């Protein structure tokens, strides 16, 4: 993989007077105070809410446009013994949404001896494609299901809803994507991004919108909120996997969802973890299970989510829903074992396709010198194109499209770099495309085989004319300078309370300069760097760090010149010993 010098962007200094005042009122280090201020937290009460998230701070679900209509239709369906179909996309956000809404109403129907029957449906990735399908509506009609609750999709399915209306099937749409010019003629459309929706928080995941539907149902029917807590882990998984903002209401939902994952994980998640490299020892306490290792948003993104996604990529997303709704450990083990096999197959395809694509790029001077990357093959599996596009973007840091040819049609995924809108770049070629959709940093598209050369030419032309040189260099955004002597147990205990981390509340990155090697720096594993550093004037206080893929920075350290490090801080657990360490982002010779 090529290595590129990263640009370091250090956030501007804050109002010194405000920093001093807030630091005194909270009795914390000024660096931590600056982190709070950069997140819009400028007084004691707001800081208290940030550090102690509360379910009481969740917004009233009836502030969301059409919530009253949605709840009326569900209550009517249950009263009139209508059959209900819960419909969702095949990715993690979609399958967690379906597991959430289906399992909640299944239990409600069973507990109250109601006559309505409830079912769920996940479209086939390859046969039906993304979102609501005619086939799914026909499925509902055949089974006399007169109400479909669509989750994480549907906001642009105008023609599909018309078709459902002609079949006397009602739709409640729960989506979080940006609406088109026309909103579908459904019984109720819940989407905080609708122009006339006054819901205070706009960044919910699809599963988050589904959760608000259940919250609205509970509120209207005077059911205790606590009945929703067992499902909050699904919302946290969706927030992490869909890479939505982890601020405001999402941060509260993620916080309590992680709490559920870390005290009472559902059988399917326990087995997913068992088949992964995350091993947790558990003991029982009065509050429930206690694990020696807490799961984080990163664990969801890199361990749980890819395995849930694997079923939809390699077989069907139905398997993921079955895993998430399963209440028996023995049955969950069988499903998880199959999903693990899909994941192993997915990883093999992902690795092979990535290596194949890198070889294509390296062997093509035109591609190497271009501002964009478009690679394609008839031999690639459509289920891994998005993953491969992400890996290529990380490696070559350019807007990237990866395409597979099936039956004369190129279908693929696009990923972008910070500051560049790949959706608009694709839109500039829309006259060549059969279909496309997405957003600024990720998109999907398809077009006829005959259009490939012209598409590549026009896409590269748009990118080269519109992308800045800065956008072609990876950026490290640094929150603050930090003296390594200030990294104490108390400092880290406050820092960890900034979690859960994600977009809008990223794990803080610090810079320490004027450091020297204590003599222990070395390459470990495959191209990783392990160091121990200190200040020249105080060699008694040292700090350990690990930099994955950064072994090529060893010569900088060996110059014996003072250097500076950009890093995050985490805990390193080795046997029974826990210590703090740098997670190194980059190293360069000190500028001061």
pLDDT at residue number 314: 83
Task: Specify the 3-state DSSP secondary structure of 363.
Answer: coil
**Residue 412 and residue 404: Cα distance in Å, rounded?**
6
Task: Specify the 3-state DSSP secondary structure of 375.
Answer: strand
Global pTM value: 0.91
List the beta bridge partners of residue 505. Answer: 502
Give yes or no for residue 315 having a pLDDT over 90. no
**Residue 535 and residue 484: Cα distance in Å, rounded?**
9
User: Does residue 500 have a cis peptide bond before it, meaning omega lies within 30 degrees of 0?
Assistant: yes
In which residue ranges of the chain is CATH 3.10.310.30 found? 363-472
Q: What does the pLDDT look like over 447-505, one tens digit per residue?
A: 999 999 999 999 999 999 999 999 999 999 999 999 999 999 999 999 999 999 999 99
Task: Specify the 3-state DSSP secondary structure of 248.
Answer: helix
Long-range contact pairs involving 275-282 (C-beta distance under 8 Å, separation at least 24): 275/307, 275/336, 275/337, 275/340, 275/343, 276/303, 276/304, 276/307, 277/303, 278/303
Comparing CA positions, the residue from 488, 577, 497 lying closest to residue 541 is 488
Q: Which residue has the higher pLDDT, 543 or 440?
A: 543
- Positions of E strands within 426-537: 435-438, 442-448, 475-478, 480-481, 510-517, 522-524, 528-535
**Residue 408 and residue 18: Cα distance in Å, rounded?**
62
Across 80-85, average pLDDT: 98
**Residue 30 and residue 14: Cα distance in Å, rounded?**
10
**Residue 86 and residue 94: Cα distance in Å, rounded?**
11
At the topology level of CATH, where does 363-472 sit? Diaminopimelate Epimerase; Chain A, domain 1 (3.10.310)
**Residue 354 and residue 387: Cα distance in Å, rounded?**
9
**Residue 213 and residue 71: Cα distance in Å, rounded?**
8
Comparing CA positions, the residue from 95, 135, 144 lying closest to residue 115 is 144
CATH class for the region spanning 61-337: alpha beta
DSSP state of 302: I
Comparing CA positions, the residue from 110, 119, 123, 108 lying closest to residue 83 is 119
pLDDT at residue number 281: 66
User: CB neighbours of 575 closer than 8 A, spacing ≥ 6?
Assistant: none
Number of H helices, E strands in the chain: 21, 21
Q: Which tokens in the block code for residue 221?
A: 């029917």
**Residue 64 and residue 217: Cα distance in Å, rounded?**
13
In which residue ranges of the chain is CATH 3.90.1640.30 found? 61-337
Whether the CB-CB separation of 149 and 165 falls below 8 Å is answered with no
Comparing CA positions, the residue from 1, 43, 5, 48 lying closest to residue 24 is 43
Q: What does the pLDDT look like over 289-313, one tens digit per residue?
A: 666 678 999 999 999 999 999 888 8
Q: What does the pLDDT look like over 435-455, one tens digit per residue?
A: 887 778 888 899 999 999 999
pLDDT at residue number 1: 42
Give yes or no for residue 283 having a pLDDT over 70. no
**Residue 476 and residue 326: Cα distance in Å, rounded?**
42
Q: Provide the CATH number for the domain formed by 7-12+475-589 in this structure.
A: 2.40.50.460
Q: Which tokens in the block code for residue 166?
A: 């002609």
147: pLDDT confidence band, cut at 50, 70 and 90?
A: very high
Best-predicted range by mean pLDDT (175-179, 235-239, 309-313): 235-239
Give yes or no for residue 175 having a pLDDT over 80. yes
pLDDT at residue number 360: 96
577: pLDDT confidence band, cut at 50, 70 and 90?
A: confident
Give yes or no for residue 560 having a pLDDT over 70. yes
**Residue 5 and residue 520: Cα distance in Å, rounded?**
24
Q: How many residues does the chain have?
A: 592
Q: What is the mean pLDDT of the chain?
A: 93
Q: What does the pLDDT look like over 395-423, one tens digit per residue?
A: 999 999 999 999 999 999 999 999 999 99
Q: What does the pLDDT look like over 129-143, one tens digit per residue?
A: 778 999 999 999 999
pLDDT at residue number 131: 86
* CA angle centred on 140, ends 220 and 77, rounded to 5°: 25
Q: What does the pLDDT look like over 180-213, one tens digit per residue?
A: 889 999 999 999 999 999 999 999 999 999 999 9
pLDDT at residue number 2: 47
pLDDT at residue number 198: 96
% pLDDT > 90, the chain: 82
In which residue ranges of the chain is CATH 2.40.50.460 found? 7-12+475-589
Q: How far is CA 565 from the centre of its chain?
A: 27
**Residue 229 and residue 583: Cα distance in Å, rounded?**
34
């Amino acid at each position: 993989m090529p290595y590129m010098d990263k640009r370091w962007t250090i956030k501007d200094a804050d109002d010194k007077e405000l920093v001093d005042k807030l630091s005194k009122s909270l009795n914390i280090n000024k660096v931590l105070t600056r982190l709070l201020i950069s997140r819009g937290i400028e007084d004691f009460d707001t800081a208290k809410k940030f550090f102690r998230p509360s379910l009481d701070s969740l917004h009233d679900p009836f502030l969301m446009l059409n919530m009253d209509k949605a709840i009326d239709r569900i209550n009517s369906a249950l009263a009139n013994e209508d059959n209900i179909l819960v419909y969702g996309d095949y990715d993690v956000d979609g399958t967690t949404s379906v597991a959430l809404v289906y399992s909640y109403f299944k239990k409600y129907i069973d507990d109250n001896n109601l006559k309505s029957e409830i079912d769920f449906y996940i479209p086939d990735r390859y046969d039906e494609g993304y979102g609501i399908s005619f086939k799914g509506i026909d499925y509902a009609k055949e089974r006399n299901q007169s109400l479909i609750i669509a989750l994480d999709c549907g906001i642009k399915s105008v023609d599909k809803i018309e078709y459902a209306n002609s079949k006397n099937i009602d739709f409640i749409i729960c989506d979080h994507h940006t609406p088109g010019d026309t909103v579908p003629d459904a019984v109720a459309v819940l989407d905080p991004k609708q122009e006339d929706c006054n819901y205070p928080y706009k960044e919910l995941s699809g599963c988050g919108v589904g959760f608000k539907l259940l919250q609205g149902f509970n509120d209207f029917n005077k059911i205790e909120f606590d009945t929703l807590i067992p499902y909050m882990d699904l919302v946290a998984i969706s927030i992490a996997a869909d890479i939505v903002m982890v601020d405001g209401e999402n941060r509260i939902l993620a916080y309590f969802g992680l709490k559920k994952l870390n005290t009472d994980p559902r059988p399917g998640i326990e087995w997913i973890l068992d088949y992964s490299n995350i091993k947790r020892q558990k003991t029982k306490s009065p509050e429930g299970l206690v694990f020696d290792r807490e799961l984080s948003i990163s664990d969801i993104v890199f361990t749980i989510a890819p395995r849930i996604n694997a079923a939809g990529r390699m077989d069907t997303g139905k398997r993921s829903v079955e895993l998430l709704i399963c209440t028996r450990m023995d049955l969950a083990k069988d499903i998880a074992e199959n999903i693990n096999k899909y994941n192993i197959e997915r990883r093999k395809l992902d690795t092979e396709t990535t290596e194949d694509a890198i070889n294509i790029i390296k062997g093509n001077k035109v591609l190497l010198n271009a501002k964009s990357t478009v690679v394609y093959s008839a031999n690639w599996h459509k289920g891994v194109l998005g993953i491969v596009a992400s890996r290529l973007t990380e490696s070559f840091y350019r807007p990237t499209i990866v395409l597979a040819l099936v039956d004369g049609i190129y279908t693929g995924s696009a990923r972008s770099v910070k500051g560049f809108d790949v959706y608009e770049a694709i839109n500039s070629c829309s006259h060549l495309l059969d279909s496309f959709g997405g957003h600024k940093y990720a998109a999907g598209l398809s077009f006829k085989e005959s259009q490939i050369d012209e598409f590549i030419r026009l896409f590269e032309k748009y990118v080269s004319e519109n992308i800045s040189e800065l956008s072609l260099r990876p950026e490290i955004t640094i929150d603050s300078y930090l003296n390594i002597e200030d990294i104490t147990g108390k400092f880290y205990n406050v820092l960890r309370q900034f979690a859960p981390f994600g977009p809008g509340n990223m794990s803080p990155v610090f810079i320490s300069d004027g450091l020297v090697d204590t003599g222990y720096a070395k390459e470990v594993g495959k191209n990783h760097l392990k160091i121990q550093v200190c200040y020249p004037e105080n060699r008694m206080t040292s700090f350990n760090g690990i930099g994955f893929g950064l072994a090529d920075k060893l010569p900088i350290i060996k110059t014996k010149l003072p250097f500076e490090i950009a890093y995050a801080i985490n805990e390193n657990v080795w046997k029974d010993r826990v210590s703090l360490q740098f997670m190194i982002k980059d190293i360069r010779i000190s500028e001061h």
